[in-house]
Structure 1
Amino acid sequence: MLFFAFVQIFRIIEMWKGWQYLAGFVFWSKVKRMASPSIKDC
């Protein structure tokens, strides 16, 4: 039972890390687009 709970927690952490990575990727692509002088979409 304890092992099952540990596996569930590990899956939640992995899913959270995946979401963090995805959010970071989207954020950095937006920052790069804003920082780029050639592309301006204001």
Structure 2
Amino acid sequence: ATAIWLQTMVPLTAGDTVELQGYFRVADGYFAADHTSFWGCKVG
């Protein structure tokens, strides 16, 4: 099995928007976003 973990932190202010795209060829994956942070992971 292969696991890839990427983490990025950026300061956001009110009104900022973040666009995040992810593509998983085999394994299921998901991204979660809120007003100050976002993260994603792939396991498989």
Report which of the two structures shows the higher radius of gyration computed on alpha carbons: 1
Name the structure where strand makes up a greater proportion of residues. Answer: 2
TM-score in same-fold range (> 0.5): no
**Higher relative contact order at CA 8 Å, sep ≥6: structure 1 or structure 2?**
2
Q: Give TM class, smaller chain.
A: under 0.3
- TM-score scaled to structure 1, two decimals? 0.21
